[in-house]
Structure 1
Amino acid sequence: MNESVEVGRNAPVDSNPPVALITGITGQDGSYLTELLLEQGYAVHGAVRRTSSLERSRLAHLYANKDLYNQRLFLHYADLDDPTTLRRVLTRVAPREIYHLAGQSHVGLSFEIPETTCEFTAMGTLRLLEILRDLPRQPRFFHAASSEIFGRPEESPQSEKTPMAPVSPYACAKAFATQMVRIYRDAHGLFAVNGILYNHESPRRGENFVTKKICRTAAAIKAGQESVLKLGDTNARRDWGHARDYVRGMWLALQHDQPDDYVFATGVLHSVQDILEHAFSALGLKWQEHVVIDPQFLRPSEPMFLVGDNRKAREALGWQPTVAFGELIEEMTLAELARLEARPEQSLA
């Protein structure tokens, strides 16, 4: 793995295809965005943490494709707390577009590791912006902001003009990064875009998110590996969409004539309870027979009524969500069941 990633240093700097660089390329959004950009004819470079393992990552199918890896897909070691390496990679790759998706992205976990969250999510973004200021050819820059910056908003739905009022360390770090992107756009003339992303899921979602937990445990119950699903507040409501739709919005935002901020959301609220019902129904199970409410999963501070107004993205970019909520949860649940059936020896432990 390590030697393969290092080969990315030998990637050609100048090439005919448009060149993009993605931070957080091994994550859910990074993997879908990589696929989209490759389909669009890009050469894609990714910044990879030294602790990443590609063989087990969401990029494994691309990493194993010798017609892509080190041909049109290149990976480089670079951490957000290492500006020297970041600068070196950016100078050598000279991307036309940068998609900044990396950072500590779990809201609940941010209460346990607030300093780490702010270091990578807030300061990591600022370091990137500072590097971009000095590049001779400044790329277009997309920052993955979050609906969590709105906290407990007084207006619903929220738009690009809704005041930020974060209620978690993660949200506070994202609010800082979002505002810095606006400052560098206005003060330094960068083509810098904030995509204010509402919750978006897929079968590639991380294990510590409630959508994934529900779909995965429901599949394990169906497979006879588990019998109980423990959850916190099932009345919590969010605006959930599909990650494939949201990365398409990222790309469209950087193709526009002018940089701006955009809300990417479905505009529809659903509850954790709705996820339960769709996931268990997709497997022919009754959720009432398996779900237990456990207070340890309650968050210290829960944002309310986070639902996005996507009119600006629709009108300016021609973007709209294409996957319905029920279809999303069913896709995630059936993917988990297929994974368990393919590897029956693998349990949730």
Structure 2
Amino acid sequence: MSKKALIFGISGQDGSLLAAHLLKGGYAIHGTSRDKELGIFANLQRLGIRDRVALHSVDPADFGSVLRVISETTPDEIYNLASQSSVGLSFDQPIQTLESTIFSAHNIVDSVHRLKLSSRVYNACSSECFGNTDLPADEATPFSPRSPYGVGKAAAFWTVANYRDAYGLFACSGLLFNHDSPLRPQRFVTRKIVAGAADIAEKKTDSLRIGNLHISRDFGWAPEYVEAMAMMLRADAPEDFVIATGQTNTLESFVREAFSYFGLDWERHIDFDESLLRPIDLKCNSANPAKAKRILGWEAKLFMKDVVRLLADGELDYRAAKARL
């Protein structure tokens, strides 16, 4: 009998990629959206799996709603990928960010506990929990979040850890560093950069406005990261893991690589825009993913230059598909 997975937040980048990955493994997939009748589910459509997923209307911040869908589906695995996912937007919507992030994690683990299920739970956390990292962060690095998004993710991390320790749940959190794919919305700076370079190459515009180019991040490929999520729930014991490439690059180097792909000199087209700066931003966010390699056998195969190339290939494919419509 095939395993059942319930993915909260299935319409986002990670939710859709995870659904596609698990379907290849023979899973029956259930996914949630706040209103399945109004949802477009463009990412599921783009991956060609929309008709292979059973959708449920659920508000992750509402306990009764979460309890009902878990009781009805009795999944073997639960993935919490639901919450506001933009660090920048969290400064404009701090309360909504905190509520969606903390309540969704609590409602899921509390439902599994109350229903006395053996479901294994994965909770999506973030490198933003660490704040600035002078040394590469690992699972023992103290949290020092610098955004409402990071504060919410840190609280969700400890909520899951407390339920694991108090009630013996198989529940764990993935501390994922930046990871991208063509399914990212353009409000994310990596997709914005690639799309902007493509626009300039097509002579739709001549410049791209960007904020701080001197920040450093660990840039990874999202399809690899969802594989790590699934591996965490197949481990012998529930543990938290840093998931990252282990390589750090400045945003300026990402821009240079993206513009080079399109045959452009980035310095001729990038305009600094102070209004795009966050109230607080991380100067450096670096990672040590050695534990994931040692225990899960997971390690990144694609790095920043690969990510840029794949994002640019995906951008051109997307534009070509739109042109054929």
Aligned equivalents of 2:25, 2:120: Cα separation in 1: 17
Report the CA distance shift for 1:124/1:327 in structure 2 as closer, same or farther (over 3 A): same
TM-score scaled by length of structure 2: 0.95
* Runs of 4+ off more than 6 Å: none
One-letter code of the match for 2:203? G
Would you say the 8 A contact 2:94–2:148 is kept in 1?
yes
Structure 1: tracts of 5 or more residues without a match: 1-15
Aligned equivalents of 1:341, 1:63: Cα separation in 2: 17
One-letter code of the match for 1:78? V
CA deviations on 1:101-140 (whole Å, 9 max, x unpaired) are: 1101111111110000001011221121211111132310
Report the CA distance shift for 1:44/1:345 in structure 2 as closer, same or farther (over 3 A): closer
Report the CA distance shift for 1:230/1:51 in structure 2 as closer, same or farther (over 3 A): farther
Aligned length: 325
Report the CA distance shift for 1:64/1:204 in structure 2 as closer, same or farther (over 3 A): closer
1:268 corresponds in structure 2 to 247
Give identity over the alignment, percent: 38
Kindly indicate whether residue 201 of structure 2 is the aligned counterpart of residue 242 of structure 1.
no
Would you say the 8 A contact 2:4–2:27 is kept in 1?
yes
RMSD of Structure 2 on Structure 1 (CA): 1.8
Kindly indicate whether residue 291 of structure 2 is the aligned counterpart of residue 312 of structure 1.
yes
Aligned equivalents of 2:46, 2:66: Cα separation in 1: 26
One-letter code of the match for 2:139? E
Give 1:277 shift.
1.1
Kindly indicate whether residue 87 of structure 2 is the aligned counterpart of residue 119 of structure 1.
no
Give 1:180 shift.
0.8
The 5-angstrom pairing of residues 3-42 of structure 1 reads: 16-42=1-27
Aligned equivalents of 2:37, 2:214: Cα separation in 1: 35
Kindly indicate whether residue 233 of structure 2 is the aligned counterpart of residue 254 of structure 1.
yes
SS in 1 for 2:31: strand
Kindly indicate whether residue 100 of structure 2 is the aligned counterpart of residue 89 of structure 1.
no
- Pick the aligned partner of 1:162 from 111, 135, 141: 141
CA deviations on 1:288-333 (whole Å, 9 max, x unpaired) are: 2211001001111112321111111000000000112111111112
Give 1:162 shift.
0.5
Report the CA distance shift for 1:123/1:75 in structure 2 as closer, same or farther (over 3 A): same
One-letter code of the match for 1:96? D
- Pick the aligned partner of 2:55 from 50, 70, 75: 75
Structure 2: tracts of 5 or more residues without a match: none
Q: Compare 280-289 and 165-174 and name the one that shifted more.
A: 280-289
1:59 corresponds in structure 2 to 44
Aligned equivalents of 1:343, 1:47: Cα separation in 2: 28
Report the CA distance shift for 1:51/1:233 in structure 2 as closer, same or farther (over 3 A): farther
SS in 2 for 1:143: strand
1:148 corresponds in structure 2 to 128
One-letter code of the match for 1:234? L
Would you say the 8 A contact 2:216–2:283 is kept in 1?
yes
Aligned equivalents of 1:64, 1:342: Cα separation in 2: 18
CA deviations on 1:241-298 (whole Å, 9 max, x unpaired) are: 0001110100100000100110001111111111111111111111122110010011
Give 1:51 shift.
7.2
Q: Compare 332-341 and 200-209 and name the one that shifted more.
A: 332-341
TM-score scaled by length of structure 1: 0.89
Give 1:80 shift.
1.2
